[in-house]
Amino acid sequence: MRNNKQDNEYLNISDSLTLQSDAPFYGTGLDLLAFSKLTEEFFKSVQGLNNPRYVVLETWLLVDFAIRTFLSNLFDLTRFNSEEEEFDLRYKLLPSFERSIVILEKILKIQRSLPENPDDYSVKLPAKFGFFFMRKYKNEFMKFLDIEQEYYKKYYPKLASNDNEKINLSLSSKSSVSKIFKRYCVNQQFVNNLQSIDENWFKIALRLNKARNIAAHSYDLQKILSAFGYKDKKAAEKTKKECLTMIEKLLGVVEQP
């Protein structure tokens, strides 16, 4: 799910936080609401922390959850989860943060290089309605098919068909064209929703992971702060500020002005 940037620059997720229109997210509307709520909780938690170790770990946990959610929704893993059994494939199946980053980066690179599937733009009628339309209003239905073909010829020539084929386009969920592209075609929604993820996004995520690896195994604050390159008296303050900035840049969550 995604806001149209031309219509909405942001989505309010609380009285103090907004989700930018280009925030990366792949899932349903309900998934987005749940994710927004969780992000709000983590963001406020990081704001209220003073210990740099906890700041880094909380920030990392949120970003790790986001990446696992993207991949889990993409591969439709959530349908195998079970709250009763405490079984979540985001954590049972998907690899480490760093490996998940590599997988996400590779998938986006491949998807962005693939051709579009023309069938994504085909006109589809529910079969039951289509047969009703054809049976009760045959002349109008044949006119509709002509209009459909005119539309294809003007905007999507690869979808245009001859008279013997065109009836199948409107009543079927898949056209003959889709068979050609079925194996290698872009998941346009996935690419659109994660279009803000670029090379710099991955660099920021790996920088956070480097700091997390130190924080997860050490209580030495100087070591943790040095992971970000901070060594002065304001190192803890700068680390916290950078972590909040990371949440903004990686997940598109910002404080309302």
Same domain, 99 and 202: yes
Q: What is the mean pLDDT of residues 105-122?
A: 82
Contacts by 221-224, CB closer than 8 A, 24 or more apart: 221/51, 221/52, 221/53, 224/52, 224/53, 224/56
pLDDT digits (tens, 9 = 90+) for 227-240: 999 999 999 999 99
pLDDT, average across residues 156-181: 54
* Integer Cα distance of 67 and 180 in angstroms: 31
Check residues 66 and 155 and name the one with the higher pLDDT: 66
pLDDT at 14: 74
Quick one: 16 and 141 in the same domain? no
- pLDDT score of 169 more than 80: no
Domains held by the chain: number? 2
Mean pLDDT, rounded, for 68-86: 87
More confident residue, 21 or 165: 21
- The pLDDT assigned to 3 comes to 39
Looking at the domain assignment, is residue 1 inside a domain?
A: no
Q: Which domain holds residue 162?
A: 118-185
High-pLDDT (> 90) share of the chain, %? 42
| CB atoms closer than 10 angstroms to residue 162 | 7
- Kindly state whether residues 80 and 193 are assigned to the same domain: yes
Claim to verify: residue 26 and residue 95 sit in the same structural domain: yes
Number of H helices and E strands in the chain, helices first, is: 12, 3
Do 108 and 39 share a structural domain? Answer: yes
Is 105 in the same domain as 87? Answer: yes
CA 11 to chain centre: 16
Same domain for 170 and 50: no
Is residue 4 one of the residues assigned to a domain?
A: no
Structure confidence by residue, pLDDT tens digits, 195-254: 999 999 999 999 999 999 999 999 999 999 999 999 999 999 999 999 999 999 999 988
- Residue 3 inside a domain? The answer is no
Q: Which residue has the higher pLDDT, 96 or 155?
A: 96
Which of residues 127, 160, 185 is at a domain's end? 185
- Pull the structure tokens for residue 138: 């045959």
DSSP code string of 186-214: --HHHHHHTTT--HHHHHHHHHHHHHHHH
Would 161 be classed as within a structural domain?
Answer: yes
Contacting residues for 49 by C-beta, under 8 A, at least 6 apart: 55, 58, 240
Which residue among 133, 168, 185 closes a domain?
A: 185
pLDDT of residue 96 exceeding 90? yes
- Please report, for residues 97, 205, 246, the alpha-carbon distance to residue 200 in angstroms, rounded to integers and kept in the order given: 17, 9, 11
pLDDT for residue 167: 44
> Which of 7-11, 129-133, 136-140, 212-216 has maximum average pLDDT?
212-216
Does one domain contain both 23 and 95? yes
DSSP secondary structure letters along 73-125: HHTTGGGG-BTTTTB-HHHHTS--HHHHHHHHHHHHHHHHHSPP-GGGGS---
DSSP H or E segment with residue 17 = strand 17-20
Query: The whole model's pTM is what?
Result: 0.73
Instruction: Confirm if 49 and 240 have CB atoms less than 8 A apart.
Output: yes
251 within domain boundaries: yes
Whether residues 63 and 154 share a domain: the answer is: no
Last residue of a domain, one of 129, 164, 185: 185
- Residues 149 and 243 reside in one and the same domain: no
Q: What DSSP designation does 167 have? A: H
Together in a domain, 193 and 246: yes
